[in-house]
Chains A and B, each alone.
Chain A
């Protein structure tokens, strides 16, 4: 009695090391331009009120960048969108600063640092920036965070019949946590998912469990990004979309469960 987890993709947002936006990433994934190794570049979040902009951390800038890019790509009004955020960790620099101070005799931590420490900080700033009052999910599934976010976002699209913006993202920790969790840089993927096909639809995706292995990306540098940043486990799906190819791919999820994604073009 299982209903398929299916939706239409209307917009894509992307940011990764050397790939500042979806258009650049699309050209690289199509093999038209080579990937140039460079740190991720985060645009200033002009959408935030000045007081919040000053507090904006790297994950806040990242999620605003990819989320707004996907919504603009789809021509969607961000204030109306339900959102699903999924990340393997929160603001690593903030977390380090708190743990460092709590290990000293002066434990009077900053209240701003404390409220920025929650896993849903980026989602909270998204709400403040966009005015979106719809449901907002915030998930963590370690390396499986992209798949977990995709599963919940598709569930909302299918059952609630409303456009839902999936924002999967990750960021780095400084040392000494970096040695324990070596995510090299920030990266994020946003997909605007809708229940119905429209003139803006790019493709439909249908997700089912699988036990197959994810196929490595042919480009070694892209493959290195896929395996080192959890949100970029989405790259095989994005490569198909970039190339305008239909077909099936397998995404790494939570061993032994993998996700088979059936892509159909519009």
Chain B
């Protein structure tokens, strides 16, 4: 593919709001995970909760969108000057030429979970103040973003569980390459809810401790939440040091709904496709941000795939010990973390991980270290066997 410019980007997770909070936490190896005290949830698990989400007030005209997921969407958009950069792009290209491509796994389902506690005793009806379209529906965050900026062009939500907001980069890149749009707001937003917390617990995939990706004693994920966005544009002569999307790769496991292919076959195909799309070889990659959820099965399968393609020569880490697993937002969050490694010259370590699983022969980074990264690959895999790898690089 023709490289695309990330002309603006931002990330908000439990590490804090924006790029500075994120880079500072990753530099010192700080984790944002805390014991779960979310809503009325009673589970022995740790979570990555974003501070002050519910203090966010939506514009009055967009009040029907009000829910935790759209509050975090707005919070993310209004961080690091991202919304201003979007408005500049709209002024440059027009309202119909800036597309919206956002990933989520559960959107505002929390709003529905809460509404089900307030059903009318006689009829069972949901309360009048519950708005399905603008909160529950998977498109709600994309429609909110489109309306927030008064856009009039194409928009879609991609919802492939935990690969959702990696795949938005691929979908937006296609439309930019075809010239059907001139800029794209890409990203992902997922927020804590009962469905995912109790759901992952039901599958025995949550850990009672902070998650420990790639540790020999890893025993599950820590659910997190996050909002991350990038503005993608074509750019013939990107300024030195700017961050580019170089390649995207997508595949399917065709194996199981909630377990990865044990040999990591689909994961390997996605990474190979991303390298092909970027016109690069394995030796061209300086850092891999792993999916690394900290479940025994995911890390073993992904480790096999990474080892088969890259051996043990490329430094890798999962940053989910810092951010938690932000599910549908993870792809975008980790793409932005890769952007920071490219611009700041460091390779993030893996808070929580103590003893790297000796059965996984890759160069796994426990501690953050300085290092020049020219090209980084990031993996995102989801339920249903949905895989996506992205390659980002820095312009010469």
The reply to whether the CB of B105 lies closer than 8 angstroms to some CB of chain A is yes
Nearest-CB distance from A115 to chain B (Å)? 4
Count: A-B pairs, CB below 8 Å: 208
User: In the complex, which residue of chain A has the Cβ closest to the Cβ of B265?
Assistant: A133
In the complex, how many angstroms separate the beta carbon of A54 from the nearest chain B beta carbon?
13
Q: How far is the CA of A33 from the CA of B130 in the complex (A)?
A: 42
Secondary structure call for the B interface: mixed
From B132, B177, B195, B252, A177 is in contact (CB under 8 Å) with B132
CB–CB A256/B152 < 8 A: yes
| CB nearest neighbor in B for A99 | B116
Contact of B174 among A103, A141, A155, A256 (CB under 8 A): A155
Q: State whether A257 and B178 are in contact (beta carbons under 8 Å apart), knowing that A121-B257, A152-B171 are contacts in the complex.
A: no
Do the beta carbons of A140 and B125 come within 8 Å of each other? Answer: no
Of A98, A109, A135, A175, most buried by chain B (CB within 10 Å of CB) is: A135
Contacting pair A118 B105 (CB below 8 A): yes
Interface status of B371 (Cβ within 8 A of chain A)? no
Establish whether residues B126 and A176, one from each chain, have CB atoms under 8 Å apart when the complex forms.
Answer: yes
> Could you say which residues of chain B place their CB within 8 Å of the CB of A132?
252, 254
Contact B139 A155 (CB under 8 A): no
A23-80: which residues lie under 8 A (CB-CB) from chain B?
Answer: none
**In the bound complex, CA of A175 to CA of B123 (Å):** 10
Minimum distance in angstroms from A253 CB to a CB of chain B: 8
> Residue on B with the closest CB to A149?
B156
Which of B155, B194, B253, B254 is A107 in contact with, Cβ under 8 Å?
Answer: B194
Cβ of B112: which chain A residues have Cβ within 8 Å of it? 95, 99, 177
**Looking at chain A's contact residues, is the secondary structure mostly helix, strand, loop, or mixed?**
mixed
User: Is A254 engaged at the interface, CB distance under 8 Å to the other chain?
Assistant: yes
- Residues of A within 8 Å of B240, CB to CB, are none
Residues of A within 8 A of B257 (CB): 115-116, 121, 124-125, 128
Among B96, B113, B386, the most chain A Cβ lie within 10 Å of the Cβ of B386
- Given A118-B159, A175-B124, A181-B132, A138–B174 Cβ distance below 8 Å? no
Listed stretches A1-9, A14-22, A235-243; interface member: A1-9
From A83, which residue of chain B is reached at the shortest CB distance? B252
**When the two chains form their complex, are residues A133 and B125 in contact, meaning their CB atoms are under 8 A apart?**
no
Residue of A nearest to B251 (CB): A133
Distance in angstroms between the alpha carbons of A103 and B200 in the assembled complex: 17
Chain B interfacial residues counted at CB < 8 A: 66
Q: How far is the CA of A93 from the CA of B262 in the complex (A)?
A: 31
Report the bound CA distance from A107 to B105 in whole Å.
20
Q: Which residues of B contact A119 (CB under 8 A)?
A: 105, 138, 159-161
Most A Cβ at <10 Å: residue of B131, B146, B159: B159
Q: Is there an interface contact between A137 and B167, defined as CB atoms closer than 8 Å?
A: yes
Are B178 and A121 neighbours in the complex by a CB distance under 8 Å? no
Give Cα A99–Cα B195 distance, bound, in whole angstroms. 8
Q: Which residue of A lies closest to B138 (CB)?
A: A140
Interface membership of A247, Cβ < 8 A: no
Known: A108-B198, A117-B199. A257 touches B154 (CB 8 A): yes
Contact for A120 among B152, B159, B179, CB less than 8 A: B159
Partner-B contacts on A (CB < 8 A)? 1-3, 5, 88-90, 95, 98-100, 102-103, 107-111, 114-121, 123-125, 127-128, 130-142, 144-145, 148, 151-152, 155-156, 158-159, 175-177, 179-181, 209, 254, 256-257
Knowing that A2-B180, A123-B160, A136-B160 are A-B contacts, what are 15 other residue pairs whose CB atoms are under 8 Å apart, sorted by A's residue number?
A: A89-B137, A100-B116, A103-B113, A114-B203, A118-B383, A123-B386, A124-B385, A127-B253, A128-B255, A128-B256, A139-B156, A141-B155, A145-B139, A177-B132, A254-B155
A sample of 12 inter-chain contacts (CB < 8 A) reads A2-B179, A103-B117, A117-B195, A124-B385, A127-B252, A133-B254, A135-B250, A140-B157, A142-B139, A148-B156, A176-B119, A180-B126
